[in-house]
Amino acid sequence: MSFDTLGLSAELLRAVAKQGYDVPTPIQQLAIPPILRGEDVMARAQTGTGKTAGFTLPILHRLTETSEPRGRRVPIRTLILTPTRELAAQVQQSVRTYGRYLPIQSTVVYGGVGFGPQAQILRRGVDILVATPGRLLDHVSQRTVDLSKVEVLVLDEADRMLDMGFIHDIKKILAKLPSNRQNLLFSATLSKEIQRLADALLNSPTRVQVENTTSTADGVTQVVHPVDRGRKNALLSSLIGAGSWTKTLVFTRTKRGADRLTQHLNRDGIRASAIHSGKAQGARTRTLADFKKGSVAVLVATDIAARGLDIDRLTYVVNFDLPYVAEDYIHRIGRTGRAGKTGDAVSLVSSEENSLLNGIERLLGSRIPKESVAGFEPRHTSDNGSRPNRARANGAGPGNNARANGNRRPRRMTERSGGRPAAAKPGRRGGFSRGSRQS
């Protein structure tokens, strides 16, 4: 099935194509048609299934189809509630991404940041508001938001909202909405509580559900190397050089970052090339061919460029920067260890990225083993429970790089090993507790 058959407008299909999506995910195939028809929907789908586009695309379609002449103040027509600030920010980013070719205004409100600027934007008016419940209620009580014209309500990750104790807040918000509206409820699980909420909220809903897809590829060994931001370049050269890594895909967040890192690796004698949307298609095709045949050992890519790249037998995926969107981590590391093969996913994480790491671990439902590399222990104690390992392997020290190290593989140190080199490849560890309530 292709996106064209779903009945979405040309502007939305263009935005989807720009994202590099070829086919709708199962939740999108199931949820988009009934939402377009204006039906209430109850969906069981986890993060990672493509659910955000599953509700955002048809909502954008309907908003533009039934758009009313704009007054000076645009009323809020769609309200999307999410349990956490991070998710709210991500959902609004999706609204912007998919609505890039449409005249739709959106904003996001959540706690922990200034109230005034949010109130100002709300006063000017937006079509779509993404919010966490607590801060939204603050705006309600300050009369800085008007919810009386909401046509569509989305409860995203409803089960998590209930877990986090938001039910009373949600009820207060529901009381401010007009009764004639479309309701969409997305939840990873369908407990009795969710069912009760659905019964109270939804009007003859269409029910859809998909299997979860957030499990990481089997056979992928994950590890986090804590390191100061300014030493990531040197650590990567050292790991690649000392381990003679080939077939390595390295992810950076920006095009400039990809170019800078590639230059650094080349200076260290490593055959690396960058691939990103700032490069001409011809250069990208050549680079990819060189990488596939092995004359380039390391491909440095941004997420967008790497999406859709068909490369098999990757042995290493390196997160030089952690992605802002936790699901992208799963997409990235899913590129190694495919089809029964084993692979390594290595993340270089500076203390500034600890909150991103927490988000990824929450999504995975487990902690990723953390190992300092001798000579590259971070100087700053992180706020993530990771302590720098003061032990140093023989000969390894600042300035360590591939050439300086010859072919000696740097020894990995586990935090639990008291400074002794780690014996074996790390496995996955479980036991992650849920995040705390935020709004």
* Complex with ligand AMP: residue 328 or 353, whichever CB lies closer: 328
Q: Which of 21, 101, 324, 432 touches ligand AMP (CB under 6 A)?
A: 21
User: Is 53 a binder of ligand AMP (CB under 6 A)?
Assistant: yes
In the bound complex, what is the minimum distance in angstroms from residue 403's beta carbon to ligand AMP?
A: 38
Residue 235's identity, in one-letter code, is L
Q: Which of 33, 48, 111, 365 touches ligand AMP (CB under 6 A)?
A: 48
Q: For the window 417-436, what string marks contact with ligand AMP as x by the rule CB under 6 A?
A: --------------------
**Separation CA 226–CA 75 (nearest Å):** 47
* Complex with ligand AMP: residue 48 or 134, whichever CB lies closer: 48
In the bound complex, what is the minimum distance in angstroms from residue 19's beta carbon to ligand AMP?
A: 6
In the bound complex, what is the minimum distance in angstroms from residue 230's beta carbon to ligand AMP?
A: 29
In the bound complex, what is the minimum distance in angstroms from residue 357's beta carbon to ligand AMP?
A: 18
CB of 415 closer than 8 Å to CB of 389: yes
* Complex with ligand AMP: residue 317 or 402, whichever CB lies closer: 317
Q: Which of 29, 47, 319, 400 touches ligand AMP (CB under 6 A)?
A: 47
Is the sign of the CA dihedral 56, 148, 438, 45 positive or negative? Answer: negative
Q: Which of 32, 42, 49, 305 touches ligand AMP (CB under 6 A)?
A: 49
Q: Which of 6, 8, 11, 25 touches ligand AMP (CB under 6 A)?
A: 25
Residue 392's identity, in one-letter code, is R
Residue 436's identity, in one-letter code, is S
CB of 43 closer than 8 Å to CB of 185: yes
CB of 414 closer than 8 Å to CB of 433: no
* Complex with ligand AMP: residue 325 or 413, whichever CB lies closer: 325
Q: For the window 350-389, what string marks contact with ligand AMP as x by the rule CB under 6 A?
A: ----------------------------------------
Q: Which of 11, 26, 52, 95 touches ligand AMP (CB under 6 A)?
A: 52
**Separation CA 201–CA 86 (nearest Å):** 25
* Complex with ligand AMP: residue 23 or 289, whichever CB lies closer: 23
User: Is 83 a binder of ligand AMP (CB under 6 A)?
Assistant: no
In the bound complex, what is the minimum distance in angstroms from residue 50's beta carbon to ligand AMP?
A: 3
User: How many residues belong to the site for ligand AMP (CB under 6 A)?
Assistant: 14
Window contacting ligand AMP (CB under 6 A); options: 17-25, 71-79, 248-256, 271-279: 17-25
Window contacting ligand AMP (CB under 6 A); options: 23-31, 255-263, 294-302, 397-405: 23-31
Q: Which of 34, 50, 205, 337 touches ligand AMP (CB under 6 A)?
A: 50
Window contacting ligand AMP (CB under 6 A); options: 5-13, 35-43, 51-59, 341-349: 51-59
Q: For the window 299-328, what string marks contact with ligand AMP as x by the rule CB under 6 A?
A: --------------------------x-xx
The tokens of 22 are what? 């070829």
Residue ranges in contact with ligand AMP by CB under 6 A: 21, 24-25, 28, 47-53, 325, 327-328
